[in-house]
Structure 1
Amino acid sequence: MRLSKRIASLFLLLSLSLPALALNLNEAMSALGDAKASGLVGEMPTGYLGVVESKGQAEEIVSQINQARRAEYQKLAEQNGIQRSDVEAIAGKKAIEKTPPGQYIQWQGQWRRK
């Protein structure tokens, strides 16, 4: 009986500590520049980030920032009476234009250095 209580306590402790290991939005934003510069993350014409190489925290960075972008795009679409997909396309074009040489962009479905 004691062993099962200890195991249950251990699982509870682990489940409570796991969310602390995930990145929050501020941490993801802080890590984005390095992730782009090292070729792990790139801009896509859809207005979202994509994982170029799945190393380190690239997937978490992309997930956190894309979630925030999606919310912002939806808000802008509602404010301007247009579809979110239109906002995404405009944002994607601008993000690709602003991407400095040497970083990755997705072009015609392929990752390429700009």
Structure 2
Amino acid sequence: MKNLLIFFFSIFISFSAFALDLQQAKDQGLVGEANNGFVAPVTSRPSQDVKNLVATVNKRRTERFKKIAVSHGLTAREVGQLAHKKAVEKTEYGHYYQNASGKWVKK
């Protein structure tokens, strides 16, 4: 039983080690800052890891945008637009962001 637990624990750790994080995905050109304040895949056929990452990041951003909107008397959409402007300013060279028309631009 102990060996079985160690085996499953080691597999779990190895999967976690290969999980993609936002910085890695941006560095690899897989995701970028979308013009609505969220992240989105840059490629037309993102991997399941990229899809999962985007969903996780955007879920957190949605929650944050709602809180900010309530506390500042804005809509979540307005907060997203403001977040996009800030994200573009902070986007590192070589990373992607969407312009107002939805085109991906490499900074």
After the TM superposition, which residues 1-80 of structure 1 pair with which residues of structure 2 at under 5 Å, given as runs? Answer: 31-53=21-43, 54-55=46-47, 57-80=49-72
Q: Is the 8 A contact 1:49 1:66 kept in 2?
A: yes
Aligned length: 88
SS in 2 for 1:112: strand
SS in 2 for 1:102: coil
- One-letter code of the match for 2:105? R
Q: Which has the larger radius of gyration?
A: 1
- TM-score scaled by length of structure 2: 0.75
- What percentage of residue pairs aligned between the two structures are identical? 36
SS in 1 for 2:74: coil
In structure 2, the partner of 1:109 is 102
SS in 2 for 1:57: helix
Q: Which runs of 4+ in 1 moved over 6 A?
A: none
Q: What is the root-mean-square deviation in Å for CA atoms of aligned residues?
A: 2.0
- One-letter code of the match for 2:75? Q
- TM-score scaled by length of structure 1: 0.70
